[in-house]
A and B are shown apart, each in its own frame.
Chain A
């Protein structure tokens, strides 16, 4: 009986996870989402910037990470547009252009912001580190035209910006290693303030940069996005996602505790402790 429980059919586990997600989505209950200091770092920085300041948002992700990073992008854009900041968008990922453009334009419409005047979308260019260095030296040779083919030198939104040195804040929303690249080749060389958002799985990798103040804030995973949504008073997809995420995390913890209890009850630990060559 215990052996059966130890080696339970994984389809049962899949069914329980699916049920936990569906039921928590269907049920209506709210969970507290207090803002943590890393998320507050980004919020406070944007809140303290005077209207007209230039904020660059790098949408360095593709559809696979959309569920975690697009809510962050939307919450950030609400905050930037509501504070009359000029947003410059770009992506280092070829698959990210559609999501970046969708976020930039759909939120801009809600605040009557115009492309080229109040925000600009530069699109995608290959090169990653080289592109960042190129932007650090001269933004207009890196991006002679924006995503829609307009000459960047003529865009009012970019007036006063020659290179990355002239930006007031840079935020990288990343599904990969681009935050480290932005820090190494951009922030450290061209001296701009930087914050970051990332998928939950790479969040732990970025704590050294947070501790050394190389990034002044960090939103990690859907929880980070939910905290920002609460801060900007725009609870949406990420806050909604806290219910299934919380229930699923709790369920996995129950799985781990239960499977270990069964493992010890069935005497499996004795086999492990004896091991090959151990004295009986």
Chain B
């Protein structure tokens, strides 16, 4: 049924895309009500995305366990973690999931004493890998890499209090690097990305870009 699979979604995309884009320039109350309605629809759709994400995660790890992919043992912990957390969440300290969430339950304990320290630990480990990478790969092989290296040293020292103790000019130099060359490069990238996003959006609205429909079309 190409009409239902292709024409209808394209028509919905075109109508909603045009209406939502023009809404921005129409300050009438009807226009604002329409926007509010659309955002509520979007939130509902985003809620369903959570289920798709969960399904995708479990399917991936189930496949890893089933086919004994290297490191499949870690995938078991995904299921253990999900089942235990979900179980305590639904148990809700003995009152069940049909009442508002209770405070101080095992669900909170898992969050505070497992998820929070585990997340912080993973993030903190980055410092070790960054130090190792800096030692092994950060070399002044060319003029460009030498410039990058000097800038990195100034920013690394200028952005921590010890930099001001080494020289009062280091924080000033670091601020200049962040506020002038960094800003110029970031602004250029932002403009490029934004123009690209606008171009892609127009292509999607007018049905030129159809990858989102699936089926390799």
A residues with a Cβ closer than 8 A to B are 7-8, 10, 13-14, 16-18, 21, 31-34, 36, 62-67, 94-95, 98-99, 102, 125-128, 130-131, 133-134, 137-138, 141-142, 148-149, 200, 203-205, 207-208, 211, 221, 223, 226, 242, 245-253, 255-260, 263, 268-269, 272
Contact = CB atoms under 8 A, between A and B. Distances in A.
Nearest to A175: B123
Given A17-B131, A31-B162, A249-B157, A126 B178 contact: no
Among all A-B residue pairs, the 10 with the closest Cβ atoms: A63-B119, A246-B162, A31-B161, A130-B42, A127-B43, A126-B46, A64-B119, A134-B39, A130-B39, A63-B116
A207 B119 contact: no
Contacts of A263: 139
15 contacts: A14-B131, A17-B127, A63-B119, A126-B46, A130-B38, A130-B39, A131-B39, A133-B35, A200-B159, A207-B186, A246-B160, A248-B131, A256-B149, A257-B153, A259-B136
B124 A256 contact: no
Given A251-B131, A252-B131, A32 B161 contact: yes
A18 B129 CA distance: 12
A207 B183 contact: yes
B179 to A, nearest CB: 6
Interface of B: 32, 35-36, 38-40, 42-43, 46-47, 49-50, 100, 108, 111-112, 115-120, 122-124, 127-128, 130-132, 134-136, 138-142, 149, 152-153, 156-157, 159-165, 171, 175, 178-179, 182-183, 186-187, 190
B179 A125 contact: no
Nearest to A220: B159
A67 B120 CA distance: 7
Contacts of A14: 128, 131-132
Contacts of A221: 159
Contact of B182 (A62, A204, A249): A204
Given A134-B36, A207-B182, A211-B183, A18 B128 contact: yes
Contacts of A223: 159-161
A253 B153 contact: yes
Given A126-B43, A134-B36, A148-B100, A252 B156 contact: yes
Nearest to A133: B39
Contacts of A134: 36, 39-40, 43
Contact of B100 (A34, A64, A142, A149): A149
A104 to B, nearest CB: 13
Contact of B134 (A7, A128, A242, A255): A255
Contacts of B179: 207, 211
A13 B162 CA distance: 21
A137 B136 contact: no
Contacts of B120: 63-64, 66-67
A127 B50 CA distance: 11
Contacts of B117: 63
Contact of A13 (B39, B49, B122, B132): B132
A63 B183 CA distance: 29
